[in-house]
Amino acid sequence: MSRIFISYRRRDSPWESGRIYDYLKERFGRDFIFKDVDDIDMGDDFRQAINAAVGQCQVLLAVIGKDWLTAKDAVGNRRLDNPADWVRLEIEAALKRDVRVIPVLLDRVEMPWESHLPESLKPLVYRNAARVRQDPDFDRDMDRVVGVIRRHLDTLTKVEEPLQEAALTFEFDVVTISGVEKDSAGKGEIKTRSRRGKAEYRREKLSGSVSLDLVRIPQGEGMMGSEEDDREQPVHAVKIAEFWMGKYPVTQAQWKAVAALPKVQRDLDSDPSLLKGDDRPVEFVSWYNAVEFCQRLSQQTRQAYRLPSEAEWEYACRAGTKTPFHFGETLDSSLANYHAEITYGEGVKGECREQTTNVGLFSANAFGLYDMHGGVWEWCADCWHDSYRDAPTDGSVWLANNSTDGRIVRGGSWFNNPRNCRSAFRDDGTPDDCSYAVGFRVSRSAPRT
């Protein structure tokens, strides 16, 4: 079943609809998106096939232009008195089936009924069809669309909303790089395959509509480190007890909600980030402030929130893999946000976004964690050590005598090269350091039985 249906009129913009399809195909895969040219067999009833596809989709992307508004009704016999009624009828029919509708307006089309829509149906982006082929904002706008779609698809399998401490489940796509195809000029394309994954999560209500999801990380044993750098040696086995980890890095909306809670040890700036956006990861946050965030959240919820240990972080990032990235042997800009002008292994150059993006834009790993490679560096609880010599093997935090020693950061960021985004790569910063490339995600130990 195709999960995404793009509703458009060819005369509005032949380039826009095609480019949107290509962009979504790159992010979700061909089988996720209905395309009439390819998915309707010769001889099939076109209207029936379209109605069936719309009836089965889980996301309706309504690319609305002037011709979209003046289209004939579903029967095809007449035009509606009010052109916008056609939009409303199609959207209302989709909403009755619990389909996520995302309006994308071309050329700032006026929608007289727009002010009456719920907030979730306000147009996500406005596109200029005349400039689409050279529009520098296209990727930025579509990144927002992809983030909304991905978060919606991830929640479709959840059960009826339970009590706060009951576990929910969600499904997601686990993408693996299967190979690279290059031409004689050295240009190439990453090939991927995907499978469906499933994980448990818990939802912590913060304030209003803001919540924080934690994914269950199962107990297990994994290898930590690599032979690529002295700081990542010796490679050694670690045993990790079950724990819960933030599905995404802490967002700016989550930070604002917790920063408003009573102080524990230090004051917090409610809006420290330099790259603004409620759904973007919070950054320009020191290690001390990340700890204060965990303490305030713990005091409010009576649960022991904390930063993950370095061993927990790498175990969670790898999610059972032994390759440099949980995606495989290399990295691609369709899978992570990093400095993609620099390649790793057999990888190819890609898009440099030069800023943070909304969390959840890219595919998760096998544990259901997003944005573990690139995006923002993530603070861990451990102090810095030059190697793993004498490191604990039970997943515990590795401290030092001096509390002002450097603290571990993991995962790389949007301006780092792919080598620094590897599962094994480790770096440090002083605990009062702040940077527009450093954030964090929270953890909780599993409840004892």
Handedness of CA 205, 91, 128, 13 (dihedral sign): positive
Handedness of CA 344, 175, 5, 280 (dihedral sign): negative
Whole-number Å distance between alpha carbons of 321 and 103: 38
- pLDDT score for 78: 42
- Top CATH class, 203-445: alpha beta
Distances from the Cα of 36 to the Cαs of 5, 46, 73, in angstroms?
10, 9, 19
- Closest to 309 (Cα-Cα) out of 396, 426, 421, 216: 396
- Supply angle C-alpha 247, 251, 255, rounded to 5: 120
| Single-letter code of the amino acid located at 327 | F
Poorest-confidence range of 16-25, 121-130, 426-435? 121-130
pTM beyond 0.85: the answer is no
- pLDDT score for 110: 60
Q: Give the residue carrying structure tokens 């032979």.
A: 227
User: Tokens representing 125?
Assistant: 């982006």
Whole-number Å distance between alpha carbons of 70 and 447: 58
Does 203-445 match 4-152 at the fold level?
no
Whole-number Å distance between alpha carbons of 104 and 111: 12
Cis check: omega of the bond before 234, within 30 degrees of 0: yes
Whole-number Å distance between alpha carbons of 404 and 449: 36
- Supply angle C-alpha 163, 149, 144, rounded to 5: 115
Distances from the Cα of 393 to the Cαs of 239, 311, 388, 397, 410, in angstroms?
6, 8, 10, 10, 18
**DSSP state at residue 30:** G
- Closest to 360 (Cα-Cα) out of 177, 55, 148: 148
**Residue 123 pLDDT > 60, yes or no?**
no
* Residue 23: count of CB within 10 angstroms of its CB: 18
Q: Give the residue carrying structure tokens 């929910």.
A: 168
User: Tokens representing 325?
Assistant: 């990235």
Q: What is the 3-state secondary structure (H, E, C) of 146-205?
A: HHHHHHHHHCCCCCCCCCCCCCEEEEEEEEEEEEEEECCCCCEEEEEEEEEEEEEEEEEE
Phi, psi (5° rounding) for residue 277?
Answer: 155, 125
Helix (H) or strand (E) run with residue 211 in it: strand 210-217
Q: Is 394 exposed, middle or buried (0-12, 13-18, 19+ CB in 10 A)?
A: exposed
Whole-number Å distance between alpha carbons of 58 and 51: 13
Domain boundaries defined on the chain: 4-152, 203-445
Q: What is the pLDDT of residues 253-304, one digit of tens each?
A: 999 999 999 999 999 999 999 999 999 999 999 999 999 999 999 999 989 9
Q: What is the pLDDT of residues 210-232, one digit of tens each?
A: 899 999 999 999 999 999 999 99
Poorest-confidence range of 128-137, 173-182, 265-274? 128-137
Poorest-confidence range of 100-114, 118-132, 236-250? 118-132
**Residue 160 pLDDT > 60, yes or no?**
no
Split at pLDDT 50, 70, 90, the class of 75 is: very low
Whole-number Å distance between alpha carbons of 439 and 182: 35
Q: What is the pLDDT of residues 304-349, one digit of tens each?
A: 999 999 999 999 999 999 999 999 999 999 999 999 999 999 999 9
Q: What is the pLDDT of residues 341-382, one digit of tens each?
A: 999 999 999 999 999 999 998 999 999 999 999 999 999 999
- pLDDT score for 26: 73
Fold assignment, 4-152: Rossmann fold (3.40.50)
